[in-house]
Amino acid sequence: MSDSNLTMERALSDADIAQLTDRIEAAQTNAKAIPKLTEDFPAMTLGDAYAVQLQLLRRWVGAGRRQVGWKAGLTSKAKMDQMGVRVPTVGFLLADFFRPEASVVATNDLVHPRVECEVAFVTKAELAGPDLTREQVLAATDFVVPAIEVIDSRFAGFKFDLQSVVADNSSSARYVTGGRARLPADVDLATLGVVLEKNGEPVAMGSSAAVAGHPADAVALVVKVLHEIGERLPAGSFVMSGGITEAIAVQPGDHVCARFQELGSVGFRLG
C-alpha cells in the first residue's frame, strides 16, 4: 500500500462504494470468504474504505438493527507494524453482535473466527473531537467491563490490506462481556493483566498497556478517527478498546476464558 492510499480523501465513485458495500455485506451475511477489495480496486483509499463501512452501517440500521457503539482495531504495536499504520482503525458494533457469557457462540456463520481479550468502556457523556485526553475519556466513562471479541476476517486466506480490513468493519463479528463492571477510578487501567485460556490451557497473556499505551488513550483515538469520518461517540456508547492479547484461532467445541486482574473473568464455548 502506498502512502497516498492512506488518505481520507475518496478516490472511488459512489457506484464503486455501493458495489464494494454489496460485496462486504454478502461476505458477512453468508460467511463466505472473498478476495481483498484492492485486487479489483487498487486505487481504493482509507477514505473509500470508511465510506464502505459507513454505508454498511446505514443499511443495517435502516433495516432495523441497532448500533451500540464502536471498537478500536489494530491497537497493538505488533498489529500496527504488520499493517504499516500508526493509528488504530474503528469498526461499528451492533446489539446483535453480542453473545451472552457462558453461552455457545455459533461459528457456522463466521469465516475465520479468532478471539482476543479487551477492556470495554461504557460512556456517560458524549465524546467528540480530534484531541481528547486520557482524563477526558475517563471522566466520560460510566464503567469498564471485561470482554472477549470474536473477530472474523472475511478475506480468503487472511490476505488483506488496511483498506480491505476497514471496509470489512475492522473484522467485527461478535463480542461477549461478563466478569465484574468497575468504576474507572477503582482500577489501575494502565497495567491490568489478562490471561486467555483455551480448553483450560493458557494460550495468550498481556497487559492493558499493550493497547495504545492505555485503554483510555485507545478510546481517545477511536473518537479521533470518528471525528475524521464525521461521527461522534454519544453518551451510553459501548466501546471495545482493542485487543490486549494476540488473536487466537478457535473452532467448534473450544472453550475460551479470559481471566482479568480486578475485572473477573468471561468465558464461553464455540459451537
73 binds ligand 0L1 (CB under 6 A): yes
CA distances to 53, 92, 218, 253 from 70, rounded to whole Å, are 12, 4, 12, 29
Nearest to 127 by CA among 240, 222, 228, 229: 222
Say whether 265 sits in a helix, a strand or coil: strand
245 binds ligand 0L1 (CB under 6 A): no
231 binds Mg ion (CB under 5 A): no
**Phi and psi angles of residue 4, each rounded to the nearest 5 degrees, phi first:** -65, -25
Dihedral-angle region of residue 16 (phi above 0 means left; psi in -120 to 50 means alpha; beta otherwise): alpha
CB-nearer residue toward ligand 0L1: 33 or 139: 33
Q: How far is the CB of 166 from ligand 0L1 (least distance, A)?
A: 9
Q: How far is the CB of 11 from Mg ion (least distance, A)?
A: 27
Q: Which of 46, 151, 204, 221 binds ligand 0L1 (CB under 6 A)?
A: 151
Dist. CA 72–CA 28, nearest whole Å: 19
Q: Count interface residues toward Mg ion (CB under 5 A).
A: 2
Q: How far is the CB of 144 from ligand 0L1 (least distance, A)?
A: 17
Q: Which of 36, 79, 92, 149 binds Mg ion (CB under 5 A)?
A: 149
CB-nearer residue toward ligand 0L1: 49 or 136: 49
Question: Radius of gyration (Cα) for the chain, nearest Å?
Answer: 17
Say whether 139 sits in a helix, a strand or coil: helix
38 binds ligand 0L1 (CB under 6 A): no
214: cell is 492505555
Nearest to 94 by CA among 58, 126, 125, 129: 58
Dist. CA 65–CA 6, nearest whole Å: 30
Q: How far is the CB of 74 from ligand 0L1 (least distance, A)?
A: 5
Binding segment for Mg ion (CB under 5 A), chosen from 133-141, 193-201, 216-224, 239-247, is 239-247
243 binds Mg ion (CB under 5 A): yes
CB-nearer residue toward ligand 0L1: 136 or 228: 228
153 binds ligand 0L1 (CB under 6 A): yes
Q: Which of 171, 237, 241, 245 binds ligand 0L1 (CB under 6 A)?
A: 171
Dist. CA 256–CA 113, nearest whole Å: 12
165 binds ligand 0L1 (CB under 6 A): yes
Q: How far is the CB of 116 from Mg ion (least distance, A)?
A: 5
CA distances to 23, 42, 52, 180 from 150, rounded to whole Å, are 21, 29, 21, 20
Residue 206 half-sphere exposure, CB side, CA atoms within 13 Å? 25
170 binds ligand 0L1 (CB under 6 A): yes
74 binds ligand 0L1 (CB under 6 A): yes
Binding site for Mg ion (CB under 5 A): 149, 243
Binding site for ligand 0L1 (CB under 6 A): 73-74, 79, 149, 151, 153, 165, 170-171, 243, 247
